[in-house]
Amino acid sequence: MRYSKYSIVIVGSGISGLYLANKLAESKNFQDGILLVTKDELFSGSSSLAQGGIVSVIPEINPVDSVESHIKDTIKAGCGLNNLNTVKIVSEQSSLIAQELMRFGVKFDRNENKALNFTLEGAHSCPRILHSEGDSTGRIIEQTLCARLSEQSNVELYDKTMACELLVDGNKTCKGLVVYNWENDYYEAIYSSNVILATGGIGQIYKNTTNPSVSTGDGVALAYFAGAEVSDMEFVQFHPTALYCKDKSSMPLVSESARGEGAKLVDLDGEYFAKNYHHLADLAPRDVVARAINEQIAINKTEYVNLDISQIGIDNFKRRFPTITKLCSDNNIDLSSGLIPVIPAEHYFMGGIKVDSNSKTSVENLYAIGECACTGLHGANRLASNSLLECAVFAERLCSYLLQNPVMAPKKHDETIKNTIDKYINQDSFMDNQKEFIKVLFDELKDTMTNYVGIVRTEKGLLHALETINSLKLRTESVLFDSKQKYELKNALCVADLVVCAALKRKNSVGAHYRADYPHRAVEVNNIKDLSYEVVNNYDKILAK
């Protein structure tokens, strides 16, 4: 066991973690330094895969837009279950975030007049999405933040290092964490009174997901095991258009921006069907489009539908969407046909660790930002391109809070957390012959979640899923040797259990949570239950409240 002490520890190296690390590093105020822990390597998370862009409400240069308009769109997509204060904060600070990212060196695309180029995405009432190199926004932002961070002398990076457990004393105060360097096979107890979880999503609990292999719900599980509150666990968003690829653990995303630019969903006979499900057709909220595709696949007994890009023009499409073009080429899809095969896949998690407007969890000195945090911004369904904005806004706010409320790192060998540390001393190393067994268990979890806790749910299916998850937990106990894979499976089972239990409790259909046995869309606004859906559509009255 190794021991260390840092003023601040950030777990996760996506855009939320990188943005926060960069902002904190500028202050030079943290005498014990800042540590950034990442489970794999930089660029291995979801942030670099974000194609569409980042919401930026800047009425002074985009006069068709307004904060009020963005607030209404966000609430409408979230079915009124959003935290209205959070929505207001995020929308109002979006202009600042765009300025800060450009100050860091991010170059957003501009039009022929060299003005910022805003694009339209589904469920937005006007073009307000900034993008970079067409459909490479996440990658460009992450590369820029990483390059800037490499110049900071007060930030240290631990890569290929798995966070195993938070060190929480009897007063429910976080005093650090235990990590496992799986490349060199050693544990380290890190003392810190500022631990920030920025670990991303939960996509790998599903068979079909756009998330990379590292997205196993680690942060949510760590916080839950430490006694932190979680919220909105039933709300799992399925992106309507993942590139149809067989036998891939991570499915490439076909950005919603493609439909914003004019692409249309058609079945394998070429019939345009989205207009049959919603008046916004292809640009309806994601949960609506995902269910429409899911139903169309079932009706036609096919494995996928097509995205018809012919109205954009093949050459125009290649220029506007170079990342998608390359993904199609890499998967032997000929764009000259004008058709891209797509299916829905798990994409984003609206639930997670419950935090306040300063990213504080219910455990003292523990914070959460990014996809693993539940800020209340998204409600029952995330509005497109609000996610990168949320990452940066809450990282910005948390930086300000930590600067104004400094907390010294705790002393080493604090007796209240010694027992937690001791159990990791002299742990047996992982044995290769158990890798396959863990994979079998993980595959069973993925199949169960996909079949019974996916786009359409029923009580019978959810109860079957819960029974299977409990069985998998018991079988996991026979894995005697610690490893990255074992911790990931443990975390994934914890998160899957929480998702299923939350889905069982919500006996209505709203947003991304659709119960076939309770199809009525019972809407809740500001915790006031059973309001009619018509009330939710009157956003001026909601905002006035």
Cα–Cα distance measured from residue 91 to residue 392, given in angstroms and rounded to the nearest whole number:
12
Cα–Cα distance measured from residue 404 to residue 417, given in angstroms and rounded to the nearest whole number:
27
Sign of CA dihedral 204, 207, 209, 212: positive
Exposed / middle / buried, residue 57 (Cβ in 10 Å: 0-12, 13-18, 19+): buried
Which helix (H) or strand (E) segment holds residue 374: the answer is strand 373-374
Given a contact cutoff of 8 angstroms between Cβ atoms, the answer to whether 493 and 438 are in contact is no
Point out the catalytic residue in the list 139, 148, 259, 286: 286
Distances (CA, A) of 247 to 208, 268, 451: 9, 21, 16
Distances (CA, A) of 245 to 86, 152, 214, 332, 541: 37, 40, 19, 10, 45
Cα–Cα distance measured from residue 540 to residue 110, given in angstroms and rounded to the nearest whole number:
33
Nearest to 52 by CA among 386, 392, 351: 386
Q: Is 291 a catalytic residue?
A: no
Show the tokens assigned to 495: 């998160």
Non-local (6+) Cβ contacts of 393 within 8 A are 89, 90, 93, 94, 97
Distances (CA, A) of 151 to 148, 172, 543: 6, 36, 44
Q: How many Å from the N-terminal Cα to the C-terminal Cα in the chain? A: 54
Supply the residues annotated as catalytic.
286
